[in-house]
Amino acid sequence: MNLKEKVDLNNLPKHIAVIMDGNGRWAKKRGGLRIFGHQSAITAVRETVEAAAEMGVKYLTLYAFSTENWKRPATEVTALMQLLVSTIRKETATLNKNNIRLQTIGNTSSLPASCQRELMEAMDLTKENTQMTLVLALSYSGRWDITQAVQRMAAEVGRGSMKAEDITESSFTNYLSTAGIPDPELLIRTSGEQRISNFLLWQMAYTELYITELLWPDFRKEHLYEAIISYQRRERRFGKTSEQLTK
């Protein structure tokens, strides 16, 4: 029995989030520039997206570029933005072929105009697709997400269209950039780093974490299957006891 056959398709996480880490280290091991690692990571993205959609995962969120990544050397950031534009342009047809819808979260207005155009066009071309939603987190941070949600709600309270007592956990989620998207049940992080790096801070309150030493450019379909199998072996109690779950 191969790994894919061991996955229980009736117990899939509806939403998987991925911190795609290790591109720079992967390139350094091979004597290449960091951008070489980013270029090589495209295959990992493609395989992960295809495998998730094939199994029936409904949402896949990839941490593609964080707010903090703007602090990297300008040459690397420029190369990353160029790579993002060319990849979106090339992959839109494949997304449509696989019935995958593209969305973004983050402060995308800070991206170069060319990136914004490609993203808008790709999202428009894939908006009717229903098999899976691929969410790219771009210029994103969890603290930014929470801050912008608070600002929007405060503005509504100031205008009188919302009362302070209307602010609840449920209503707050509607102001996050992930409004309408279920919280991720599984987070995969490659490269062995054991932190969540300012990613989906509110949304990951009860997310199961799967850390692998594998560097992201080496990630393939079987590694996604391994992560899901690990998730399916866990007991998700949400504060309850095991005995309460069996009643």
Is residue 146 classed as helix, strand or coil in its secondary structure?
A: helix
User: Considering 10, 69, 99, 166, which one is annotated as catalytic?
Assistant: 69
How does strand 132-140 pair with strand 59-66? parallel
User: Considering 2, 10, 11, 21, which one is annotated as catalytic?
Assistant: 21
Q: Counting Cβ atoms within 10 Å, is residue 242 exposed (0-12), middle (13-18) or buried (19+)? A: exposed
CB 79 within 8 A of CB 123: no
From the CB of residue 31, how many other CB atoms can be counted at a distance below 10 Å? 7
- Determine whether 129 is an active site residue: no
Could you tell me the maximum CA-CA distance found in the chain, to the nearest angstrom?
61
- Determine whether 198 is an active site residue: no
Cα-based distances in Å from 207 to 2, 173, 188? 26, 16, 10
Rounded to the nearest 10 degrees, how much is the dihedral formed by the CA atoms of 43, 45, 51, 52?
180
CB 24 within 8 A of CB 41: no
C-alpha distance across the termini of the chain, in Å: 33
Strands (DSSP E) found in the chain: 15-19, 59-66, 100-105, 132-140, 186-189, 208-211
Q: Counting Cβ atoms within 10 Å, is residue 232 exposed (0-12), middle (13-18) or buried (19+)? A: middle
How far apart (Å, rounded) are the C-alpha atoms in residues 11 and 234?
11
Which amino acids are annotated catalytic? Answer: 21, 69
